[in-house]
Amino acid sequence: MTEKITRKDFLRLATAATSSAALAGYVGRGAAQNTEESAGPIVSDNQAGTLIRGADVLTMDPELGERLATDVLISNGRIEAIGTGLPADGAEVIDAQGMILMPGMIDGHRHVWQTIALGRMVESNPGDFSRDYIFWKMAAVVAMEPEDHYIAELVGGLQAIDSGVTSILDYAHGQDTEANSMAAARGLRDSGIAGWFGYQLAISYPFDIGDTVSPAEMLEALFAARPTEEEWNTATLLSNDLFNDPSALLQLALGPPMWPGYAMDDIRDYMARARSIGVDLIIAHLHKPATPHPAGFMGHRDSGIPDLHQAGLLGPDFHVAHANRLTPEELTMMRDTGGMIAATTMSEYSFMMDPHRGAPVHGRARAAGVPVGIGADVPMGLTGDYFEHVRSSLWSHYLEEESRQIVQGYRSQDTLDFATALGAKAIRLGDETGSITASKRADLVLLNTDRIGFGKMGSLADRVVTFARTTDIDSVWIAGQARKRHGEMIGVDWASLKARLHEAQERVEQKVASVNWV
């Protein structure tokens, strides 16, 4: 007798099969298994703990500051002790003399799925990027299959770890089916990075590969999209099947649509339904509309924060990206309700071309007391070296007068704060990570400073913010597990993964090119 297989079972089996195929070349513990049962990436697993001996420690904890020639003991995934002459008691001892130990960095807004198109469209060609990005994105959404999403998220997560990012808010706004969404979430989870998989609802476009479509009609469809029952079911499935362990490093966030022009009654319903699923983070893109919308619609006042505030929808689970034109009053509303912001400073330079967008908000938000971090945003078109994004968060202050005044009082620690302690608070993980503090999760980055261009003078923060780059990273730990040692990712065959990523890129690009925009 043939056993009945439901659609849900079929999608699970299909996604697991394609995910396992994509994993070839990634020497993780789950590489030879069905990814439903994957235990994640291979790590250096020392049950007795790890003692990092004699490092120069940039704690980013205001009570601890910078400590030279200091030991840090890791046990059971957490920072157990910070001091000098700490006993090893059987722990693995790492000689870190002359090296800088810093917190793992935080990326508060990155579309990891766009790793599928690294270099396809770059922001160093600003005219092409601003003109073509949205249409490429829409075509890629309908072109990508589960195996494409899996490999993109896996490689994207591994690249982030390689660059010193240990926690991320992945804004997943490229998955239009249950199978694609589940595969993407598995890919990021299997990379071993901590943080959030942020599933965006209302991602469906009324065309297919090979169609002839009108850009104007598709833009109208983009901003008129509403979440479908299938998407709500996918959100519930993600929560129940993949993100059902509250102690796991990666958790689920949801992005119910709340764009300017949406009816506030609809937004109220969407946010209530998203929160009812049990997630701890609600995410949104936020841009001030070019012209105000009518009363009762998002964007009637300023960027829409007053509309959400009046409706009682703001709260300590509310996170927005960009939000460049927030007024002082809006920032106060965000601060008083516990809201959070991510500025993607490098990608937002181009926002200066739009009078209703403007310069990044992070300096003003921090000054107003709002938890705010930074993010890399579009990996397809910007550098993956996260230290460059840290530096961008400094220089972008000079794009507007108010931020120019704010930055005059900065020290290097203030800039690094956006990517560490404050950045962790800005994705609701401030109690877990972001600083080298006893009892916090052991998310750490160890920098080799031997390179001739890595300055030896100045504070540790001065040296990191000014000189550090990805190639200086000797080691990365996430929850005490070594993911990178001696400059190499553990258990990762980059050549094989790159070949598989390029194979997927070519397949997707061929489909994208078949869409005829007229």
Phi, psi at residue 453, to the nearest 5°? -85, 0
What is the band of 25 on the pLDDT scale with cuts at 50, 70, 90?
A: low
Kindly tell me if the per-residue pLDDT of 2 is higher than 50: no
Report whether pLDDT(12) > 60.
Answer: no
| Cα–Cα distance list, 131 to 100, 123, 340, 353 (Å) | 42, 11, 30, 13
**Among the ranges given (36-40, 73-77, 280-284, 413-417), the one the predictor scored with the smallest mean pLDDT:** 36-40
| 9-38 per-residue burial string, b: 16 or more CB within 10 A, e: under 16 | eebbebbbebbbebbebbbbbbbeeebbeb
Judged against a pLDDT cut of 90, whether residue 415 lies above it is answered with yes
Q: For residue 424, give the DSSP letter.
A: H
Residue spans of the domains in the chain: they are 50-104+443-487
Q: Which of 177-181, 212-216, 218-222, 485-489 has the lowest mean pLDDT?
A: 218-222
pLDDT reported for residue 46: 66
Give yes or no for residue 9 having a pLDDT over 80.
no
Mean pLDDT of 19-40: 43
CA distance 432 to 435: 9
In the sheet with 250-255, reading across from the earlier edge strand, the strands are 105-110, 165-172, 194-200, 250-255, 282-286, 318-322, 340-343, 372-374
Instruction: In whole angstroms, give the CA distance from residue 326 to residue 371.
Output: 14
The lowest-confidence range among 30-44, 273-287, 312-326, 429-443 is 30-44
- Could you tell me which of 91, 97, 136 has the C-alpha nearest to residue 117? 136
CA atoms within 13 A on the CB side of 485: 15
d(CA 360, CA 392): 10
Nearest Cα neighbor of 361 from 324, 390, 416, 392 is 324
For residue 366, what are its two tokens? 């921090």
Q: What is the mean pLDDT of residues 85-105?
A: 98
Residue 13 has pLDDT above 70, yes or no: no
- Name the CATH superfamily housing domain 50-104+443-487: Urease, subunit C, domain 1 (2.30.40.10)
**Which has the higher per-residue pLDDT, 261 or 357?**
261
Instruction: List the structure tokens of 180.
Output: 């694609």
pLDDT for the residue numbered 66: 99
Convert the pLDDT of each residue in 43-52 to its tens digit.
666 677 999 9
pLDDT at 26: 56
Q: How confident is the model at residue 8 (pLDDT cuts 50, 70, 90)?
A: very low
- pLDDT tens-digit profile of 52-81? 999 999 999 999 999 999 999 999 999 999
0.75 surpassed by pTM: yes
| Rounded Cα–Cα distance for residues 167 and 107 (Å) | 6
User: What pLDDT band is residue 130 in, cutting at 50, 70 and 90?
Assistant: confident
Q: What is the mean pLDDT of residues 429-433?
A: 99
Query: Is the pLDDT assigned to residue 1 strictly greater than 60?
Result: no
Question: Which residues sit opposite 169 in a β-bridge?
Answer: 196
Q: Token pair 């190499």 is at which residue?
A: 488
Q: Give me the chain's average pLDDT, please.
A: 92
497 contact partners, CB below 8 Å, separation of at least 6: 25, 26, 151, 154, 155, 158
